[in-house]
Structure 1
Amino acid sequence: MKTFFLVLIVSLFFLGCRTTPAHPKFQVILDKAVKKKSNNLSGVSMTVLAPTLNISWSGAAGYDSKEKTHKLSAEQPFRIASVTKTFVASAILRLQEEQKLKLEDSIAAYISEHHYQLLKSDGYDPDIITIKQCLQHRSGLFDYAEGNSSYIDSILKNPTKKWTRTQQLEFAMEAGDPLGLPGEVYGYSDTGYILLGEIIENSTGQNLAQALRELLKFDALGLKSTWMEGLEESPAGLLPPVHRYIGNYDATGLDNTIDLYGGGGLTSNTKDLAVFFDALFNGEIYKDSETLRIMLEDPGPLPYGAESEDYRMGLGQDGVLGITGYVHFGFWGTVWVHMPKPNYTIVVNFTNQPEAAGIVTSTTEMLQKLATSK
């Protein structure tokens, strides 16, 4: 996907584990990562959840900004960027459970006529692009957000602009051409996910924030620090958010509409995220266990030997020594990983996007050692 994502993937997937309640050692990992000068890491928060091992731990080290004026708390929320895609994909699959759509349906039946015509104007055929292809980044849609540098350049030149989904779609049509025919090409695409966000809204009659909250049981799960900034009110009593950066530019004050409508948009903290992903993989989100299997199924090779990443529906897959794991990264510095065996979830948020600090690696190695010694 992106360079940071690829670097993290290399270090993420070591053997999972059973552990004993050695929770303070997780804090040592964070403290060491922040203190190591070569990491250039201002701060980091992490949650580890392993329900079958009786582990539920959250902690933080360092600061919530590069300025290092405020100590980071594990409770502080942050914009999660593309990690939102896992939520959007989960909501689409819930809608299939409710028989409000089918994954093989064309997106044309669910998007506005204006958006349909915008796609047609740039050489796309919305009638042959399916919901499933958007979920798996096989739609051929150019990525408005990171297909090239033009979108980031644009938001930095006009940081107070409030974007709409239509403007983001228009930007995609202007900034790049179709990547190829649907189903025959892989290309990570926020454009496909903002259309999925529209499909959720049109299928439920709610805005995306309301739909995600109800379809994915935010309240029942106790996600008290998770909301879609700009589409709903923020929860009361929250701590100040962790700063977000584009390079050295403090992007915390940028309007959340730059990263909204489906490709991103949610704000959360590591604890809430870990609770959600634990629930997702342990039967608390979907009505039918078959739905999770569909979400995780191998999308298969592309025709003609086209290159692809192993991206399922709203998440990627990787593994080591036969152990399968799932992962997603967010542009601002968030990563989650779930290992079904022995069933644990790790969520890490970096204040300032280090290339690699070894935190997930060290955490999984610790869990493995504890498991083998038990």
Structure 2
Amino acid sequence: MKYSLLVLILATSTFAPLDCDAQVKDHNIALQKILDKACKKKNNTIIGVSSSVKSPELQIDFTGSSGFDSKEKTMLLHAKQPFRIASVTKVFVAAAILRLHEQQRISIEDPITKYISDAHIKLLQDGDYTPASITVRHCLNHTSGLYDYAVGGEEYIAEARKDSKKRWTRTEQIKFAMDHGKPHAPPGQEEHYSDTGYVLLGEILERQTNSGLAESLRTLLKFDALGMSATYLESLEERPEGLLNNVKRYMGELDASNWDNSVDLYGGGGLVSTTEDLTLFLQALFNGRLFEKEGTLEVMLLKKGYPANGEALPNQRLGFTSVVGEKTGLTAYLHTGFWGTVFIHIPEYNCSIAINYTYDGDSDAIQQTVDYVLELGKKKE
């Protein structure tokens, strides 16, 4: 799911009447109908879709699913089935880095050379970078100039296809970026999405907490206290007991569900979660239950400590991207994942939305869910 599609969704939302009446008292019925309609739509490729929508202000607390959990269509999709969330993991990594920042264990304005290994500094230097000029902030907001080992070109996926059981290391991924791409621009000048920057952030979390990445995320982000019982860093910690089978993951027609998850693990991706856990996280993040200091969320959203000099803030924040509806004027913060995961928070209505597709998908379920929330919000004003 591309950011451009989500920008379109927010921009074109006009509170148009929906098939599901926004006056329905039981929002669960209305939101479930949206999922069912998406799966029953003719001539589409949607196999299954699950979603969670939470907004205390709008009195919405919904989690549901429709369709199947695989292309084989042998098992109905259950709302509580976990799935690999891919790049949505980056928001969690960014939040964990900001937890260290507010605890003054690191500064996001420091160069990454202060926190990463000498071996990785040397790799970057050999790749024609000046790592002493790349700050933690640059990695957070994708302005590091670092070539993206994962999707900067087609080489990485082609290499991964050769041996789906290969156990990749962070160092191999950094070296892959150095071998297959050049710096985009000097640090801080241009935005270029980079998994490479986020695997370096993952390294910073490990080294500054003296623990593994899984433990640092779980502890800093309070997974257990928040009730995120289905969220874990796959292969780097034990899978929680009692979970249902994971939703299948596909790369085109190829079933990639059993690929070794190290292909996307060390900070750019790697978490497994559910739509409900994702909305629990967003609600905690935006309602003061995650960060210790009131101003940390403002730092994450560039509302504090960012030298805008009167200019409009960039769409890319720290971990999130942001979109503003042209007709609604509302800001939403969001991220998407390679396998078909989307999560969005709309502060105006304190509404968190997470949607996951089994295989492919169009914008219908997202569009109608967002429209439902916006229409309901307008009626509440």
Same fold (TM over 0.5): yes
Find the residue that maps to 2:317 and give its secondary structure: coil
Deviation per residue, 1:279-329 (Å, 9 max, x gap)? 101111001121000100167789xxxxx9721000100011321111100
**Partner in structure 1 of residue 373 of structure 2:** 367
**Partner in structure 2 of residue 358 of structure 1:** 364
**What RMSD over aligned residues (CA atoms) do the two structures have, in Å?**
2.0
Query: How many angstroms does 1:361 deviate by?
Result: 1.5
Unaligned runs of 5+ in 2: 16-21
From 3, 6, 31, the counterpart of 2:4: 6
**Partner in structure 2 of residue 305 of structure 1:** none
Alignment of 1:142 with 2:140, yes or no, is no
Find the residue that maps to 1:219 and give its secondary structure: coil
**Partner in structure 2 of residue 61 of structure 1:** 66
Return the alpha-carbon distance in structure 1 between the equivalents of residues 30 and 24 of structure 2.
12
Find the residue that maps to 1:326 and give its secondary structure: strand
Amino acid at match of 1:11: I
Query: How many angstroms does 1:364 deviate by?
Result: 2.2
1:1-374 alignment, distance < 5 Å? 4-12=2-10, 14=13, 20-297=25-302, 310-320=315-325, 321-354=328-361, 356-373=362-379
Amino acid at match of 1:143: D
Deviation per residue, 1:36-68 (Å, 9 max, x gap)? 123310000000000222221100000011111
Amino acid at match of 1:332: W
Find the residue that maps to 1:314 and give its secondary structure: coil
Amino acid at match of 1:191: T
Query: How many angstroms does 1:19 deviate by?
Result: 8.2
2:345 and 2:352 in contact (8 A); partners too: yes
Taking structure 2 as the reference length, what is the TM-score of the superposition? 0.92
**Partner in structure 1 of residue 18 of structure 2:** none
Change over 3 Å in CA distance of 1:8–1:371 after alignment to 2: closer
Return the alpha-carbon distance in structure 2 between the equivalents of residues 297 and 309 of structure 1.
9
Query: How many angstroms does 1:32 deviate by?
Result: 0.5
Amino acid at match of 1:322: G
1:95 and 1:101 in contact (8 A); partners too: yes
**How many residue pairs end up in the alignment?**
366
User: Identity rate of aligned residues, in percent?
Assistant: 47
1:11 and 1:358 in contact (8 A); partners too: no
Unaligned runs of 5+ in 1: 303-307
Query: How many angstroms does 1:122 deviate by?
Result: 0.8
Change over 3 Å in CA distance of 1:238–1:148 after alignment to 2: same
Change over 3 Å in CA distance of 1:40–1:125 after alignment to 2: same
Amino acid at match of 2:9: S
1:47 and 1:57 in contact (8 A); partners too: yes
Amino acid at match of 2:4: L
1:20 and 1:370 in contact (8 A); partners too: no
1:78 and 1:242 in contact (8 A); partners too: yes
Taking structure 1 as the reference length, what is the TM-score of the superposition? 0.94
Find the residue that maps to 1:39 and give its secondary structure: coil
Amino acid at match of 2:3: F
**Partner in structure 1 of residue 19 of structure 2:** none
Deviation per residue, 1:120-148 (Å, 9 max, x gap)? 00101111100000000000000000000
Amino acid at match of 2:255: D
1:47 and 1:347 in contact (8 A); partners too: yes
1:19 and 1:371 in contact (8 A); partners too: no
Return the alpha-carbon distance in structure 2 between the equivalents of residues 271 and 15 of structure 1.
27
1:46 and 1:270 in contact (8 A); partners too: yes
Query: Which of 201-210 and 358-367 deviates more?
Result: 358-367
